[in-house]
């Protein structure tokens, strides 16, 4: 930014080049003090003429000229403010030393004390803590010397006759005005700065909320068609196909799931960035979790002909842990996904080791190691920044968004842990972290609720689908036809309510976002209907994934939910489970 011209005499124009409120306050304080000094000197000039003090008169005129030049320089070169403050404070300190030690016979009058206070005020407000402490310490030295040297302790030399001098009284008053104005101007700027920060925080909060809302909306708009793409692909893959068709379907499914993974990563990062992630506490077996992570990536490792190795500390099998298995699996998925992606040959290894186990707290170290491309030392910090990869060539060759490791880093903070890395460029990388887990005695986790979908029969279940997207309706009809089921369809929540009143259904699959009346509002109305229909099992279908949406679904009265795009077998299992609830309620009735 350009600085004001040398001819500038406007404080307003000067402030156009100094946007910070505190910097503006420093300039105001500086100018006010120099203007008051000019006024004080002008008041003293007649007294010097009256007393024929020609030397003092000339020095005063010279002082006025210097003060005006300094003010003019400050208006045209505001960046020099700190330099000018240093010069002014040093000049005042020399004046204090002179008046106390050289000419004052080691006595201190009220005017000198005022100058010491002005040095302290101006140095702190103008130069900050270090400058303020430095110059304040120097300014009090002559006062301390006067206390030590003057044996009569007649330090504050105030002669009663001096107050009959009007000039002296005015000077003293103006000194107090200078000190008071300095405090007032800086405090006002301080308050303005706080207000600006509050307004900025509000703007940032609105911006963050807008970003979150936008991503939630985009999630729905992207997941809804993906639900149809992945669903139709699964339906086609379940039918007999020739090798060429199967290859095409595999490519289609892989591309759709890759896009879904990208959407999930962006949404997860948004959740973490907005600090809306909350860890759940559930009992699970760590060995099973590691095996699940290994199974999920075994095919990709096999396709690249990589050795995919698991080393699991057997001592960890002696207990279960209580933590968030979903988030822990997400951490492993990101690390293993990266390891396999960036390894062209060799191995990928995941290992666990029990470091200690006492007082029902186990510290476990996890390692994910590979023989991939490695990371150069100058890029190791960058890879944990969102949307950043080690190099442009990495992005071009391997693809990806660069969100995996930032998500891992942020998630580990919720586990009170952090990620560490050892890497050699061109040889491989080892990521490791340690987590303290609450442990409980080993118990076989009850999996009686797990359903074998291959043997499940959901025929004769009466299902109402509330869905406004025609493509999704077509997919759902084809899916249920495969299960030998016909479904009734309502295009919005209001129609779904009317159909429920007129017909009998066992389950409603309710899309959350629909025109006329959305799924949440429709569910609230259904729960108020008189009779058994109000207790119908409602499964929400939503493309929005957030803790807030989960709470809204529960609060509306829905029994369960499915996230689009969903796995057909999971939907089948939930429908079967809902029928079991219906049967149980009838028996209990």
Number of compact structural domains in the chain: 4
Same domain for 44 and 143, yes or no, is yes
**What pLDDT is stored for residue 73 in this prediction?**
78
Residue 206 within any structural domain of the chain:
no
What integer pLDDT is reported at residue 219 of this predicted model?
65
Output DSSP code: residue 165. Answer: -
Identify whether 496 is part of a domain. Answer: yes
How long a stretch of residues is the chain?
A: 589
Give the chain's mean pLDDT.
Answer: 80
Is 213 domain-assigned?
no
497 φ/ψ sector (left φ>0, alpha ψ -120 to 50, else beta): alpha
Q: How confident is the model at residue 499 (pLDDT cuts 50, 70, 90)?
A: very high
Question: Is there a single domain that holds both residue 401 and residue 482?
Answer: no
Q: Does 111 share its domain with 174?
A: yes
For residues 490 and 435, state if they share a domain.
no
List all residues 6 or more positions away from 397 whose beta carbon is below 8 Å from its beta carbon: none
Q: Are 155 and 83 in a shared domain?
A: yes
* Shared-domain flag, residues 431 and 525: no
The CATH number of the domain where 331 resides is what? Answer: 3.30.565.10
CA distance 493 to 16: 57
In a 10 Å sphere around its CB, with 0-12 CB exposed, 13-18 middle and 19+ buried, how is residue 220 labelled? middle
Residue 217: is its pLDDT beyond 80? no
At residue 309, the pLDDT reads 92
Element (H, E) at 104: none
What is the C-alpha separation between 421 and 413, in angstroms, rounded? Answer: 16
Same domain, 143 and 99: yes
Judge whether 81 lies within some domain. Answer: yes
The answer on pLDDT for 97 being more than 50 is: yes
Residue 218 belongs to some domain of the structure: no
- β pairing state of 428-441 and 319-323: antiparallel
What pLDDT score was predicted for residue 393?
44
Give the model confidence (pLDDT) of 31-41 as tens digits: 888 888 888 77
Buried b / exposed e over 119-128, threshold 16 CB at 10 Å, is bbbbbbbbbe
| 463-466 vs 487-490, strand pairing mode | parallel
Does some domain include residue 214? no
Instruction: Say if residue 489 is in the same domain as residue 567.
Output: yes
pLDDT for residue 374: 85
Q: How confident is the model at residue 543 (pLDDT cuts 50, 70, 90)?
A: confident
| Segments forming the whole domain that contains residue 292 | 282-441
Secondary structure (DSSP) of 340-355: HHT-SSSEEEEEEEEE
Reported as a single tens digit per residue, the pLDDT across 503-529 is: 999 999 999 989 899 999 999 999 998
Give pLDDT, residue 556.
92
Local confidence band at 388 (pLDDT 50, 70, 90 cut-offs): low
Q: CA-to-CA distance for 450 and 270, rounded, in angstroms?
A: 32
Q: Is the predicted pLDDT of residue 151 greater than 60, yes or no?
A: no
Asked if residue 448 has pLDDT above 70, the reply is: no
Domain containing 519 — which CATH number?
3.40.50.2300
Same domain, 326 and 400: yes
Arithmetic mean of pLDDT, 118-138: 86
- 275-295 pLDDT, tens digit per residue, is 666 788 888 889 888 888 888
Which sign does the torsion angle of CA 443, 446, 450, 455 carry?
positive
Lowest mean pLDDT of 184-193, 355-364, 377-386, name the range. Answer: 377-386
Give the rounded percent of residues in the chain with a pLDDT score beyond 90.
19
**451, part of any domain:** no
- Residue 457 resides in a domain: no
Residues 254 and 152 in one domain: no
């Amino acid at each position: 930014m350009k600085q004001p011209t040398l001819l500038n005499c406007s404080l307003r124009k000067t402030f156009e080049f100094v946007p910070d409120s505190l910097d503006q306050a420093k300039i105001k304080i500086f100018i006010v003090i120099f203007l008051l000094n000019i006024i004080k000197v002008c008041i003293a000039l007649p007294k010097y003429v009256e007393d024929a003090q020609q030397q003092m008169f000339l020095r005063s005129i010279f002082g006025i000229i210097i003060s005006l030049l300094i003010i003019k320089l400050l208006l045209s070169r505001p960046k020099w403010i700190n330099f000018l403050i240093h010069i002014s404070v040093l000049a005042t300190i020399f004046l204090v030393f002179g008046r106390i030690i050289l000419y004052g016979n080691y006595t201190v009058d009220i005017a000198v004390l005022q100058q010491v206070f002005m040095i302290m005020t101006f140095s702190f407000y103008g130069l900050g803590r270090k400058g303020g402490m430095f110059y304040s310490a120097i300014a009090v030295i002559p006062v301390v010397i006067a206390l030590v040297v003057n044996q009569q302790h007649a330090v504050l030399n105030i002669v009663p006759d001096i107050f009959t001098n009007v000039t002296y009284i005015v000077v003293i008053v103006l000194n107090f005005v200078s000190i008071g104005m300095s405090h007032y101007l800086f405090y006002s700027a301080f308050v303005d700065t706080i207000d600006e920060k509050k307004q900025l925080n509000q703007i940032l909060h609105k911006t963050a909320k807008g970003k979150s809302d936008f991503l939630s909306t985009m999630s729905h708009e992207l997941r809804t068609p993906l639900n149809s793409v992945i669903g139709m692909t699964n339906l086609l893959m379940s039918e007999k196909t020739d090798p060429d068709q199967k290859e095409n379907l595999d490519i289609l499914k892989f591309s759709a799931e890759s896009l879904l993974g990208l959407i999930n990563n962006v949404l997860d990062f948004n959740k973490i960035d907005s600090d809306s992630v909350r860890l759940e506490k559930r009992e699970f077996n760590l060995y099973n979790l590691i095996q699940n992570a290994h199974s999920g990536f075994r095919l990709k490792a096999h396709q690249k002909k990589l050795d995919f190795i698991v080393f699991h500390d057997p001592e960890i099998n002696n207990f279960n842990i209580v933590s968030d298995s979903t988030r822990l699996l997400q951490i492993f998925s990101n690390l293993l996904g990266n390891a396999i992606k960036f390894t062209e040959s060799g191995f990928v290894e995941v290992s666990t080791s029990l470091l200690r186990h006492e007082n029902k707290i186990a510290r476990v170290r996890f390692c994910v190691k590979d023989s991939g491309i490695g990371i150069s030392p100058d890029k190791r910090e960058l890879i944990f920044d969102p949307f950043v990869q080690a190099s442009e060539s990495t992005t071009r060759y391997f693809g990806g968004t660069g969100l995996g490791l930032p998500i891992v880093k942020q998630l580990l903070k919720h586990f009170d842990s952090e990620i560490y890395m050892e890497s050699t460029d061109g040889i491989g990388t080892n990521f490791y972290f340690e987590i303290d887990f609450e442990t409980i005695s080993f118990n076989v986790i009850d999996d009686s609720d797990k359903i074998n979908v291959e043997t499940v029969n959901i025929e004769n279940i009466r299902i109402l689908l509330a869905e406004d997207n025609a493509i999704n309706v077509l997919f759902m009809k084809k899916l249920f036809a495969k299960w030998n089921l016909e479904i009734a369809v309502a295009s919005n929540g209001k129609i779904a309510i009317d159909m429920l009143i007129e017909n009998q259904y066992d389950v409603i699959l309710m899309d959350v976002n629909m025109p006329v009346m959305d799924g949440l509002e429709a569910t609230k109305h259904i729960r108020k209907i008189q009779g058994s229909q109000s207790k119908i099992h409602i499964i929400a279908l939503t493309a929005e994934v957030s803790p807030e949406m989960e709470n809204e679904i529960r609060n509306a009265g829905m029994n369960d939910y499915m996230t689009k795009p969903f796995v057909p077998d999971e939907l089948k299992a939930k429908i079967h489970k809902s029928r079991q609830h219906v049967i149980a309620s009838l028996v209990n009735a």
